[in-house]
Structure 1
Amino acid sequence: MELARAEPGALHRLLRLALEQVRGDLEGLSREHVERLAELALSGATGTVVELPGDVRVRRQYDAVTIEPDEPRAEYLPERAQLPVPGEAALPLRGVVVRAEPAVTPDGFAADDPLTAYVNAGAAARGLVLRSHEPGERFIPLGMTGSRKLQDYFVDEKVPRRLRDRIPVVTDADGVVLWVVGQRLAEPARAEAGAGAVRLSASFEPRNEEDT
C-alpha cells in the first residue's frame, strides 16, 4: 500500500499492525504515538527518527518507513554493586558513584537536585543495590499507583538515547526499583518529612558521548 494515498483510518491500522509485529504487543502505545508515526510516514524528512514506547525506533528513509527494535549500546555491559549504608558503590563502565548515609527527610524537601534522593528507612532496611537497569524493567514512579516500563519512561521524558543505558537504578534487597538515578524516585521509596531515611547522592563522570 502506498502510504501517501491511504485513508487516515487505514493508515493508522496499518501502522499499529506493523508496530505489533515488531514489538509483540501495543502496550503503552497511545493515539498520539500513532499520529506522530503517521505524520512521519506522510511528510517526514529523510533520516528523521521517532522513538516509541516498547524500545522501538521508526526511521524515514526516502520513500520508506522502517520500524525496528531499539538496540542497547553494546559498551554498557550489566553491572551490579552492593550499596552499604553508610558507604558508597560505583559502576565503573557507567562512570557513576552513589553514596548513601542515614538521614532525616527534610520538611518540604523538593528534588531541585536530581542527583539527590531520600529513601524511607524501611525500604533500605535489608540492604540496597546499585545496578544497571534490565531489559523490560518496570518501576512505579513516585505519586503513581501503576508500574511503567523504564524504557517507555525514558522515551516520554525525552532522555537522549546515548544516555539511557548509562542510567542505573537503586533497588531494595528484593530487586524493587527505589530510584532511577538522576531521574525519578519510585513510590516504594517514599519518605515522609521528619522520618528516618537514607540520603542518596549520585555523581556521574563527565563524558563526551555522541548520539547514535
Structure 2
Amino acid sequence: LHPYLQKRVLRLALGRISAELTGLTYLHLQNALELCHHRLPSGEITLPGGWRLIRAGNRLELERHRPPSLPRGALVLPATDHGSFPGFGWLLKWTTYAASAPVDCSTPPEMARLDRNKVQFPLILRCLQPGDRFQPLGMSGTKKLQDFLVDAKIPHSQRLSYPLLLSQDQIIWVVGQRLADPVKITPQTTTILEITASRE
C-alpha cells in the first residue's frame, strides 16, 4: 500500500480498537509506521492519552498506561528543580544543584541531601502504612518503619501520621529523621537534591 493509505488504515484500525484514543497526529502515525517496518522485531511508541503501541514480532498491541493509585491522603510533590510544599503539618523546601568536590554529606536531621540521579520525580509524601520498611543511612539491611519510629522516640500518637517521602514506592526519607541509604551522596554524585523540612 501507498504510505498515505497505510496511515489511513492504521488510523482506522486504532480508532476501531479504542474509541478513547483521540488526538492522533501525522507524526504519531508516521512513528507507528516506522515501528511496523523497523528491522528490530520489538519496540514501542507513546500515543496521546497515555496509550502505547507495542510491537512484538508480527503483532501490534495497544495498551493504556494507568499510573498506580495513590494511598489515601498521599500528596504528590511537583517535578521541579526547586520549590516548596506543605503537607502533614510540615513545610518541605527543595533545591537542586551541581555537586562540588569534596561533597559535604553532613546534614542536620531536618535536612536531606541526596543524589538527584537516584530518585525520580514526582515524589510522594505519605504516612505510615502496614508493612513499611526502609534502609536507614549507614545500614546494610532494611528495618521496619514502626520499629524505627519507636527507636527515634516519635510519640505513639504521631507515628501513624508521621510523613515519609517516597520515590517509585521506595521510602527515601523519614522526614526530619533519617535518609535512606540507597539515595545517599557518593564521590560519583554529580547533582544534589537538597530538601529541608520545618514544622508549620
Q: Corresponding residue for 2:106?
A: 110
Q: Which runs of 5+ in 1 are unaligned?
A: 1-76, 206-212
The answer on whether the counterparts of 1:119 and 1:191 sit within 8 Å (CA) in structure 2 is: yes
**Letter of the structure 1 residue corresponding to residue 197 of structure 2:** A
**Letter of the structure 1 residue corresponding to residue 171 of structure 2:** V
Q: Distance in 1 between matches of 2:172 and 2:74?
A: 15
Q: Corresponding residue for 1:164?
A: 159
Superposition map of 1:132-171 within 5 A: 132-171=127-166
Rg larger in structure: 2
Structure 1 position 137, deviation (Å): 0.7
Q: Distance in 1 between matches of 2:162 and 2:197?
A: 11
Q: Percent identity between the aligned chains?
A: 32
The answer on whether the counterparts of 1:131 and 1:170 sit within 8 Å (CA) in structure 2 is: yes
Give aligned pairs, total. Answer: 125
Which secondary structure state, in structure 2, belongs to the residue aligned with residue 144 of structure 1? coil
Q: Distance in 2 between matches of 1:157 and 1:105?
A: 30
Structure 1 position 105, deviation (Å): 5.0
Which moved further from structure 2: 140-149 or 152-161?
152-161
Q: Distance in 1 between matches of 2:91 and 2:141?
A: 29
Deviations along 1:59-112, one digit per CA (max 9) or x if unpaired, are xxxxxxxxxxxxxxxxxx952121123223322xx211212211245633312x
Residue from 155, 172, 181 that aligns with 2:175: 181
Which secondary structure state, in structure 2, belongs to the residue aligned with residue 102 of structure 1? strand
Q: Which runs of 5+ in 2 are unaligned?
A: 1-70
Q: Distance in 2 between matches of 1:120 and 1:138?
A: 20
Q: Distance in 2 between matches of 1:133 and 1:103?
A: 30
The Cα RMSD (Å) is 2.2
**Letter of the structure 1 residue corresponding to residue 172 of structure 2:** L
The answer on whether the counterparts of 1:116 and 1:182 sit within 8 Å (CA) in structure 2 is: yes
Residue from 107, 121, 125 that aligns with 1:130: 125
Which secondary structure state, in structure 2, belongs to the residue aligned with residue 82 of structure 1? strand
Structure 1 position 163, deviation (Å): 2.7
Q: Closer, same or farther in 2 for the Cα pair 1:147/1:82, shift >3 Å?
A: same
